[in-house]
Every structure is written in structure tokens, then in C-alpha cells.
Amino acid sequence: MQTSPLATPFPDMPPIDGVELRVSRARYKTWDRCDLTFVTLAEGTTVAGVLTQSRCPSPEVEWCRAALTLGTARALVVNAGNSNAFTGSRGRAAVEAIAARVAATHACKPSDVFVASTGVIGVPLPVDKAEAGLDAAFTAAPCGWLDMAETIGTTDTFPKGASTTAVVDGRTVTLVGVIKGSGMIAPDMATMLGFVFTDAAVDPAFLQRALTAANAPSFSCITVDGDTSTSDTVLAFATGKAGNRPLTDDDSLGADAFRAALADLCRQLALLVVRDGEGATKLIRIDVDGAESDRSAHRIAMSIANSPLVKTAIAGEDANWGRVVMAVGKAGEPAERDSLSIRFGATQVASGGLAVEGYDEAPVASHLKGQEVEIGVDLNLGEGRATVWSCDLTHGYISINADYRS
């Protein structure tokens, strides 16, 4: 598969004390690559998560949702090539078998084992392959973040990871994240599969609040195709090995710094997913200002971002602002035609219900030829604002998805 033209190099990322990675071949598909990731987590690790709002979630999502209420984690298993979604009791049994096998070999409770799967929907995860893959992972040599990022991918064209640091209680703590996602990206909560690890000591309730807050302007502000997955999962694990006094609330020393670092990391990861949108050639940033509320601005921005007409116009480098007007109007949110302003890049192209008289198309054409495109909308109704990210829609998206199960 050809690497996305928007790809960025995988960064050098430091290890996290209390986190050990291993990968193996469960052979969920007929491919010559690792497809099972096994992560062990130090005793005392806390966990938080945001999960798909799909009404047809995978058994893995249901398992994680229940386990998150306990707030502790000792292991993570990620399967690639089979989402195990819409598989009934056989799918649930597979998740239970995976958790039980890890718990039995690593002296922890099944509820301390988190499981995520991604791939084709409707095919039960084969327990024999899962168990054989786990057994191979248990004895495999520890590996690095790049290995994990490559192993959890499906239609991804490049591995995705990011890291950052924060000073908490006088100590420098590290946050690392890896993520996969390329299609079926229009989440209500997160993207496909993302995992954040930190050596900070963080109370699970505070970690959950911080992750939920970080999710809102990041994973919940990206879209590739308007389709929310059955398996979307983002989990954050905090091992506590940095030695800081645990973060318990916003008054804890370094709480603001940690929240800011987590938000920054989630934004970095979210944008990597859009850069790998299936068939994408352009990253699109959409800013909506002047809405009646932030929620209204967000809905309007997502209406623009998910419009096939807008996305194909950008693919064709056509500044068809009429399609943006259409997307604003169909969003179902307050908007006044004669108050609306639209820009491409820094150039205002429409205002007051009309094209800007005599605007210079040359800088617009130049802007649209780049790999990063900005669309700005001002409704001039209030103080609400939102920013979302999308990508263009090309024939490559059709090719990938028409042949997905082949």
C-alpha cells in the first residue's frame, strides 16, 4: 500500500517505566506480519478510557467499559485484522478467553486485562489463534513503540506515535502515545485504537476527567469519512513510576501541566490519523466562528468536514465556496445567509451572502495546491467557535474500501 503523501516520520520516543511491549503473529489474516500486541503494566497502574458511542459496539468495547469502572490495569492485548464486532456470544467468549489466559500467566485479575481489536466486522475472533499468538508474545523479546505502532495497524500506511513531557510535583513525567486509524473515522469520542502511557502517578478518577477533556478538542474533532467505528477505543495508562505525589484533582501540584500535556498529545495523535485518511492527499482544517454556541459551531464544522462535495472540491483544488454554504445550511444549526463569511486560507471569498467583489483568485488557487488547506467560516451570530480536521476525498478511498475484504 502506498504511503500517504501527508505521512510524517515516526518519532524517537522514550520508554515508559512500568510498561513493557511485545508483539507476535497470531495470523488473523493471511499476511506476513505481526498482528498481536501484548503490553504488561506495572502493579499499581491506573487506567482511563473513552469508547465508541456506536450502538453496535464490539465485545472488546463492552469489556473495557466494564473494566474501566475499577480503574486498574496490568495488561493490554491488541488484535489487528479482525475487529470481532457483531459476533455474538462467540465474540464475547473470545475476549473472556484472552483475559483469562493473560490473568492466569501474569498473576492478575481478568478485569485488569484490557482488550482491543480492529479489522473486518462480522467474523468471530478465532480463540485458537488468539491463544497461540499470546503464548508467542509471552516469550517474545521486548520491543519498542515503532513495533507496536506497526503491529496495531490495518489499512494504515504509516505508523503513528507522539510523545511529550510535563513537570508534575517537581518531577518530569513522560507521556507517550501510539494510534492506528485510517478509515471509518468520524467518532463521537475517539478514533480507531489509541493508547497513551505515562509514568506519572495519577488517580484513576482524575485521569478519566483529564482524558475526557483532552478528547473533546482532539479525537472528537476529526473525521475522514463520516463513519463511526464499532471498535473505537482510546485508553490511557499511568504507571506511577515517576514518583510524583498522585494527581487527584485540579488542585494537585502539576495538575494543569499534566492536563495540558495530555491534551497536546491527544491532538498530535488525532491529526496523524487524519493525515493517513484513506486515499487522502490534503489535510483540511475547518474553523467556524461566530456561532450561537461552541456546540453549534462544532456541528456546523463537522457538517462541512463530512461533506463529500466539499471534500471532492478540495481534492480537485476547486475553491467552490457554494459547497461550504450548502454544508452550513444543512447542519440544522442557526445560520443567517446574509451574515455568513467564508475564507480559503487567508483570502475572504464570500461575505454578506455574496461573493467578495473582485477577490483575487490567485492566492486561493495557490493555497489549494498545498497539502494543508484551511477553510474559515464566520456566522456572525455569537461567540461560539470550533476547529475540526478532515481530509479530501479521492478515488483512492473507493479503491481501498471496495477491496477491503479481498
Across the chain, how many H-helices and E-strands are there? 11, 15
CA angle 58, 298, 369 (to 5 degrees): 95
The reply, when asked if residue 401 is annotated as ligand binding, is yes
54 plus 202 within the same structural domain: yes
Q: Supply the pLDDT for residue 181.
A: 79
Confidence of residue 119 (pLDDT cuts 50, 70, 90): confident
Q: Supply the pLDDT for residue 191.
A: 44
**Residue 312: φ, ψ to 5°:** -75, -30
Q: Across-strand partners of 347?
A: 344
- List the single range of 134-148, 193-207, 223-237 with lowest mean pLDDT: 223-237
Confidence of residue 20 (pLDDT cuts 50, 70, 90): very high
Average pLDDT of span 230-259: 94
Mean of per-residue pLDDT scores for the chain: 92
301 plus 222 within the same structural domain: no
Residue 203 predicted with pLDDT over 80: yes
The reply, when asked if residue 278 is annotated as ligand binding, is yes
240 plus 296 within the same structural domain: no
C-alpha–C-alpha distance, residues 326 and 331, integer Å: 9
Q: What's the burial of 227, exposed, middle or buried (CB within 10 Å: 0-12/13-18/19+)?
A: middle
Confidence of residue 232 (pLDDT cuts 50, 70, 90): confident
Sign of the alpha-carbon torsion through 364, 369, 374, 377: positive
Domain that holds residue 360: 283-402
227 plus 371 within the same structural domain: no
The CATH code of the domain that includes 325 is 3.10.20.340
Residue predicted with more confidence, 176 or 181: 176
- Going by the DSSP 8-state scheme, the letter that residue 313 receives in this structure is H
By percentage, how much of the chain surpasses pLDDT 90? 83
103 plus 69 within the same structural domain: yes
The CATH code of the domain that includes 108 is 3.60.70.12
Asked if 217 and 263 touch (Cβ cutoff 8 Å), the reply is: yes
Q: Which helix (H) or strand (E) holds 389?
A: strand 384-391
pLDDT digits (tens, 9 = 90+) for 294-314: 999 999 999 999 999 999 999
Per-residue DSSP letters for 324-362? Answer: HHHHHHTT-S---GGG-EEEETTEEEEETTEEPTT--HH
Residue predicted with more confidence, 121 or 130: 130
C-alpha–C-alpha distance, residues 362 and 334, integer Å: 32
The reply, when asked if residue 8 is annotated as ligand binding, is no
Judge whether 4 lies within some domain: no
301 plus 393 within the same structural domain: yes
CA angle 210, 215, 220 (to 5 degrees): 165
Judge whether 8 lies within some domain: no
Judge whether 212 lies within some domain: yes
222 plus 360 within the same structural domain: no
Average pLDDT of span 334-339: 95
288 plus 318 within the same structural domain: yes
270 plus 342 within the same structural domain: no
Q: Supply the pLDDT for residue 227.
A: 57
Q: Supply the pLDDT for residue 321.
A: 92
Cell of 192: 480507531
Asked if 336 and 290 touch (Cβ cutoff 8 Å), the reply is: no
Q: Supply the pLDDT for residue 187.
A: 53
pLDDT digits (tens, 9 = 90+) for 342-401: 999 999 999 998 999 988 889 999 999 999 999 999 999 999 999 999 999 888 777 766
Cell of 114: 484490557
269 plus 287 within the same structural domain: no
Judge whether 289 lies within some domain: yes
Residue 404 predicted with pLDDT over 60: no
The C-alpha cell 501474569 sits at 106
Judge whether 175 lies within some domain: yes
Judge whether 131 lies within some domain: yes
pLDDT digits (tens, 9 = 90+) for 39-85: 999 999 999 999 987 777 889 999 999 999 999 999 999 999 999 98
Residue predicted with more confidence, 248 or 189: 248
Asked if 242 and 150 touch (Cβ cutoff 8 Å), the reply is: no
376 plus 288 within the same structural domain: yes
Domain tally for the chain?
2
Confidence of residue 188 (pLDDT cuts 50, 70, 90): low
Q: Supply the pLDDT for residue 190.
A: 41
Q: Which of 191, 230, 233, 239 is catalytic?
A: 191
Q: Supply the pLDDT for residue 226.
A: 61
| Residue 236, helix vs strand vs coil | strand
Judge whether 1 lies within some domain: no
Last residue of a domain, one of 211, 244, 275: 275
Q: Which amino acid is at 90?
A: R
Let me know if 155 is a catalytic residue: no
Average pLDDT of span 125-131: 97
Last residue of a domain, one of 225, 242, 275: 275
Q: Supply the pLDDT for residue 230.
A: 62
Which of 13, 239, 46, 47 lies closest to 147, judged by CA? 13
Q: Supply the pLDDT for residue 278.
A: 78
Cell of 131: 491463544
Q: Supply the pLDDT for residue 128.
A: 97
Which of 140, 383, 152, 185 lies closest to 276, judged by CA? 185
Q: Supply the pLDDT for residue 228.
A: 57
The reply, when asked if residue 281 is annotated as ligand binding, is no
pLDDT digits (tens, 9 = 90+) for 76-118: 999 999 999 888 899 999 999 999 999 999 999 999 999 999 9
Residue 189 predicted with pLDDT over 70: no
Last residue of a domain, one of 255, 275, 295: 275
Q: Supply the pLDDT for residue 110.
A: 98
Q: Supply the pLDDT for residue 313.
A: 94
288 plus 154 within the same structural domain: no
Confidence of residue 242 (pLDDT cuts 50, 70, 90): very high
Judge whether 2 lies within some domain: no
pLDDT digits (tens, 9 = 90+) for 273-297: 999 987 889 999 999 999 999 999 9
Asked if 204 and 182 touch (Cβ cutoff 8 Å), the reply is: no
